[in-house]
Amino acid sequence: MIKEKYIDKAWSEVNILDVLRDFHPELEVKQKGSRYVCLCPYHDDHNPSLNIEPSKNRVRCFVCGTYLTLFKLVQYEKKLSYPEAIRYIYENYLPEIHIKEIYDFGSKDDEQRWKKKEIQKSYMAMAHKFFRQEYLRDYHMANFCRDYAEKSDDNPEGRWSKELCDQLELGYAPGSGNALVDWARGQHLDFDVLDSIGLVYKIENDDGTCYYKDSFRNRLMTPYRDKWSEVIAYTGRKLDYKPGDKD
């Protein structure tokens, strides 16, 4: 288990822009105020759509939906677990710290709790990408959700500016069927983990079998993040739109 003070140290002292450039030296990065932009390396991009925010240690693409914090970037690029990603950062960007110093070798129970927490965080991150992609899709239910959230000259009834909605990374939980359950099944995810983080719930039949249903349906999904910008929970605002309605 990694000591929290060393997680904080990596977060505060390592710049995500430097890490991204090391992974993708071909990128031509331009500064725009406090952020930077470049072509997104995660899809076929011809108009710079990747936003790099060093002050928040994150990169975001509003076209393909990529959202990576410093630690998630290393995990994604190097195919590492969360603890392995932090070790990678220390070995490559903070070599003055002896690697043994960052670990807290507690009890077996502590180790199991840590592993469970990291699995839950990875599932929450995957679910966040699903909700975000649904929010950005072009179909009547997602359009209704965006119109509810985003205020513009053409839509004065919206609640907040588009810029704020993008900053919050709002999502949408579809109202028809069990969209998250179906998606998770296709990803071969563990439903007990999804149940433990409140995104699905289990229904047990009299014969001992069980099945799962989405916890959120037809909801505007607002993510809550920890101090390292990792999604740790959601609040879902119910929408008036009825999935059976026609536009």
Strands of the sheet with 171-173, listed across from one edge = 171-173, 219-225, 231-238
Residue 236 pLDDT > 80 = yes
Q: What is the pLDDT of residue 245?
A: 53
Of 230, 13, 18, nearest to 102 by C-alpha is 13
Helix (H, G, I), strand (E, B) or coil at 182: helix
Q: Higher model confidence: residue 244 or residue 47?
A: 47
DSSP 45-88: -SS--EEEEGGGTEEEETTT--EEEHHHHHHHHHT--HHHHHHH
Q: Higher model confidence: residue 7 or residue 240?
A: 7
Please give the single-letter amino acid code of residue 133: Q
Q: Taking residues 159-188, what's their average pLDDT?
A: 93
Distance of CA 162 to the CA centre of its chain: 19
Q: What is the pLDDT of residue 115?
A: 83
Q: Please, which pLDDT band fits residue 243 given cuts at 50, 70 and 90?
A: low
User: How many Cβ atoms sit within 10 Å of the Cβ of residue 105?
Assistant: 8
Q: Higher model confidence: residue 1 or residue 181?
A: 181
The residues that bridge with 30 in the sheet, in sequence order, are: 37
DSSP state of 244: T
Contact present, 42 and 33 (Cβ < 8 Å): no
Q: Please, which pLDDT band fits residue 167 given cuts at 50, 70 and 90?
A: confident
Please give the single-letter amino acid code of residue 52: I
User: How many Cβ atoms sit within 10 Å of the Cβ of residue 188?
Assistant: 6
Q: Taking residues 218-229, what's their average pLDDT?
A: 92
**Could you report the per-residue pLDDT of 190-208, keeping only the tens digit for each?**
999 999 999 999 999 999 8
**Could you report the per-residue pLDDT of 46-89, keeping only the tens digit for each?**
999 999 999 999 999 988 889 999 999 999 999 988 888 999 99
The residues that bridge with 67 in the sheet, in sequence order, are: 60
Residue 231 pLDDT > 80 = yes
Cα radius of gyration (the chain)? 20
Helix (H, G, I), strand (E, B) or coil at 233: strand
Determine the Cα–Cα distance for residues 180 and 217; give it in Å rounded to an integer: 9
**Could you report the per-residue pLDDT of 79-125, keeping only the tens digit for each?**
988 888 999 999 999 999 988 889 886 777 877 887 898 899 899 99
Of 13, 3, 4, 2, nearest to 95 by C-alpha is 13
Q: Please, which pLDDT band fits residue 242 given cuts at 50, 70 and 90?
A: low
Q: Taking residues 217-226, what's their average pLDDT?
A: 94
What is the share, in percent, of the chain residues with pLDDT greater than 70?
Answer: 97
What is the share, in percent, of the chain residues with pLDDT greater than 90?
Answer: 77
- Do you know the residue count of the chain? 247
Q: What is the pLDDT of residue 247?
A: 43
